[in-house]
Amino acid sequence: MKKVLFGLLTLVCAVACQAAPPLVYNGDTLAWNYSWKKTQCGTLNIDNNIIEVSGIACSRVTPGYIWMQSDETVKYIIATDEKGEDRACKVKFTKSIRWDWEDMSGGVYEGTNYLLIGAFGDNEETDGNYSIVYFEEPAIDPVNTPEVTVTPQQIKYVYPDGKKHNNEALMYDNRENMIYIITKVYYDVCQVFRIPFRLDYGDETQTLEYVCDLGQKSDLGSGSKPYKGFHLVTAADISPDGKYILIKNHNNIVSTYCWVLYWVRYDGESVADAIMNRPPQPIKAYNTTEWQGEAICWLDDDTFYTTSDADHENNDSSDYPPIYKFTRKWGEGVETVQAPNENHLIMQGNVVYVQSPNGLYTLDGRRVQ
């Protein structure tokens, strides 16, 4: 056993020495998470109007499909499989709602599955007319009901600081029945807010609760401008069981500023506590340029998707938004060696730990987080 462990640690350290320079977040040096494999599973070429995909959510009512929305002036959403080859359903709305849709999330409330759309984009920070649109998720029947019409409801809100903010990230927590909203800020710190999901808000405007900053005045790389904090947040999601949190950003110019940050949430913790109590792990498989990448969603604990816009920079009409699939590599590679109870090894700094669904442990079994 000692011989095997020594060989394993040698391999882990060798890989770590070749890894990219560490990222700094809120004063903490972050270790890359190598536990994920990225593949392009599809291309969205079924609807020429859905070209700027700003939000996706895996269907919980009809598994196997992904809901998608655009932040263009398209006033409907579609469902497709992960290949993006067939439009299984189109959802239209019975009434007009604010169109600048920037993210989508699915969630369960009192036993019913809902889809939530963040109608809160405000690039110039001059609008102030923000809302979260929601409706019961319809079943998907591509043959008999390829088009569905629903009546949406909305939660209107303002920010506790009285200011206007641009947003592109929305996530829903099934444990707390809580909606989280993250601002999108250029070259500065993004902020997290929240509001409980309820069905009785009506037309009354609500005030969000401030949660925290994402990486206060932290340097996540060097560049021509001061990159403070985890800026340009474009999407977020929480796994259906509430165990895992993803928050992503994008930068269309420099790929080293594109990250998906990953948190493990422990039993009894709120999402806010998980984000504030521990530094995240940037997912190495994502650290590549994804043009205007603005969407992310969990399928389950071991799978999530991202997608992005077509590459308009080349003005190539044959380009369509790619669909990327990330799968957890249990038992593959060095950083994710199979261990009992679905545990795997990670490195933080020069120290090797065992990451399990229940927490972070030293190699001799002492819990450290």
Domain range enclosing 152:
37-328
Express each pLDDT in 168-205 by its tens digit.
999 999 999 999 999 998 777 889 999 999 999 999 99
Residues 208 and 254 both lie in one domain: yes
Same structural domain for residues 113 and 166?
yes
| Domain at 111, CATH number | 2.115.10
Same domain? For 248 and 202 the reply is: yes
Do 46 and 31 lie in one domain? The reply is: no
Quote the number of domains for the chain.
2
> Which position has the token pair 């977020």?
236
User: In this model, does residue 8 exceed pLDDT 50?
Assistant: no
Q: Do 106 and 171 reside in the same domain of the chain?
A: yes
Same domain assignment for residues 293 and 345: no
CA distance 224 to 77: 38
Quick one: 209 and 354 in the same domain?
A: no
The residue behind tokens 């109590």 is 277
Prediction pTM value: 0.82
Q: What is the rounded CA–CA span in Å between residue 2 and residue 239?
A: 36
Q: What is the dihedral of CA 39, 45, 46, 48, to 10 degrees?
A: 140
SS3 359: strand
Task: Please check whether residue 125 is in contact with residue 165, taking contact to mean a CB–CB distance below 8 angstroms.
Answer: yes
Q: What is the reported pLDDT for 217? A: 53
Task: Kindly report the average pLDDT of the chain as a whole number.
Answer: 80
Report the DSSP pairing between strands 112-119 and 209-213: unpaired
Q: pLDDT class for 339, splitting at 50, 70, 90? A: very low
332: DSSP letter: B
Could you tell me if 150 and 14 lie in one domain? Answer: no
Q: Do 191 and 243 share a domain, yes or no?
A: yes
Name which of 296, 194, 184 is nearest 245 in CA terms: 296
| Whether residue 140 is found in the same domain as residue 285 | yes
Cα(309)–Cα(25) distance, rounded to whole angstroms?
Answer: 28
> In a 3-state reduction of DSSP, which class is residue 258?
coil
Q: pLDDT per residue over 34-64, tens digit each?
A: 889 999 999 988 877 787 888 999 999 999 9
Q: How far apart are CA 206 and CA 256, in angstroms?
A: 37
Pair (130, 211) in one structural domain: yes
Residues 92 and 105 in one domain: yes
Distance between CA atoms of 287 and 264, rounded to whole angstroms? 19
Helices (H) and strands (E) in the chain, counts: 2, 27
pLDDT per residue over 204-261, tens digit each? 999 999 998 886 554 444 443 444 456 788 999 999 999 999 999 876 555 556 789 9
